[in-house]
């Protein structure tokens, strides 16, 4: 076993890639939440949802894209962005399905605000995501998660029918130190490389 030191301003995560090759027969559980497709999302709309759901888990990939690069993704007709909404209509999560690779769907982003964690809503959202991903012409649905994500994410994907098929290590500058995310995001991940 070997340890590889990281610079104080750098993070590392183990990424697990998962896939399913046929649609599961499980039903979508009932939920008071709903999915609403955002037909013409602006980059700011996308970043707001992304930050709302992912700041706790240090999601930052969409936050560093300029408007043109982000529009190239979210304006693509083969990418579907949904807001998860509660009863009063507040945004409490997001789902992004990416059909740009023929015959495949990637669950690019799926998540809820941390306040809804542990209440069964994630099971509904994941089942709904899988249901929407499987459509005519799709023979593979895939997703990836990492060790910085919600602690239940990997087991939730496996419970939903996804099978792990590879791992990788990702290294990146801490987005809190770059000013992309607030320094108080992700309190479960110590912030190193600061004076205070």
pLDDT by residue (tens digit) across 121-161?
999 999 999 999 999 999 999 999 999 999 999 999 999 99
Whether 183 has a pLDDT exceeding 90, the answer reads yes
pLDDT of residue 27: 87
Average pLDDT of the segment spanning 181-193: 92
Is residue 1 in a domain?
A: no
Number of domains into which the chain is organized: 1
Identify the CATH number of the domain in which residue 39 sits. 3.40.630.30
What's the rounded mean pLDDT across residues 171-195?
Answer: 91
CA distance 20 to 144: 12
- Is the pLDDT at 99 greater than 80, yes or no? yes
HSE-up of residue 188 (Cα within 13 Å, Cβ side):
10
Condensed to tens digits (0 to 9), the pLDDT of residues 48-68 reads 999 999 999 999 999 999 999
Q: Evaluate if residue 12 carries a pLDDT over 70.
A: yes
What tokens appear for 5 in the block? 């030191």
Give the C-alpha separation, 51 to 138, whole Å.
30
Beta carbons of 94 and 53 less than 8 angstroms apart: yes
Query: pLDDT value at position 132?
Result: 97
In a domain, residue 102? The reply is yes
150 located within any domain: no
> Does residue 179 lie in a domain region?
no
Q: What is the pTM of this model?
A: 0.94
**Confidence tier at 195 by pLDDT (50, 70, 90):** low
Distance CA 146, CA 61 (A): 13
Q: Does any domain span residue 76?
A: yes
Looking at every residue in the chain, the average pLDDT score rounds to 94
Q: How far is it, in rounded angstroms, from Cα 5 to Cα 151?
A: 23
What's the confidence (pLDDT) of residue 10?
95
- 83: pLDDT strictly greater than 90: yes
User: What is residue 50's predicted lDDT score, i.e. its pLDDT?
Assistant: 96
Residue 6: pLDDT over 60: yes
Residues 112, 50: Cα–Cα separation, whole Å: 10
Domain of residue 133, residue span: 25-142+160-173
**What is the end-to-end Cα distance of the chain in Å, rounded?**
33
User: Has residue 77 been placed in a domain?
Assistant: yes
From 132, 105, 80, select the one nearest 18 (Cα to Cα): 105
Domain membership of residue 178 (yes or no) is no
Strand partners, 145: 16
Establish if 92 belongs to a structural domain.
Answer: yes
């Amino acid at each position: 076993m070997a340890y590889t030191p990281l610079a104080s301003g750098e993070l590392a995560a183990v990424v697990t890639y998962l896939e399913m090759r046929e649609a599961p027969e499980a039903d979508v559980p009932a939920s008071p939440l709903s999915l609403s497709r955002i037909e013409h999302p602006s980059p700011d709309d996308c970043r707001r949802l992304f930050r709302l759901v992912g700041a706790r888990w240090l999601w930052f990939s969409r936050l560093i894209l300029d408007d043109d690069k982000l529009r190239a993704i979210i304006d693509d007709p083969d990418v579907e962005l949904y807001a998860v909404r509660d009863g009063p209509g507040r945004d409490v999560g997001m789902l992004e399905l990416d059909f740009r690779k023929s015959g495949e769907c990637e669950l690019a982003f799926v998540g809820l605000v941390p306040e809804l964690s542990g209440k069964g809503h994630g099971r509904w959202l994941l089942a709904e995501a899988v249901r929407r991903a499987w459509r005519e012409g799709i023979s593979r649905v895939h997703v990836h998660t990492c060790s910085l994500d919600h602690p239940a994410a990997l087991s939730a994907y496996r419970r939903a029918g996804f099978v792990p098929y590879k791992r990788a290590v990702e290294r990146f500058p801490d987005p809190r130190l770059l000013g992309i995310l607030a320094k108080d995001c992700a309190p479960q991940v110590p912030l190193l490389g600061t004076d205070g």
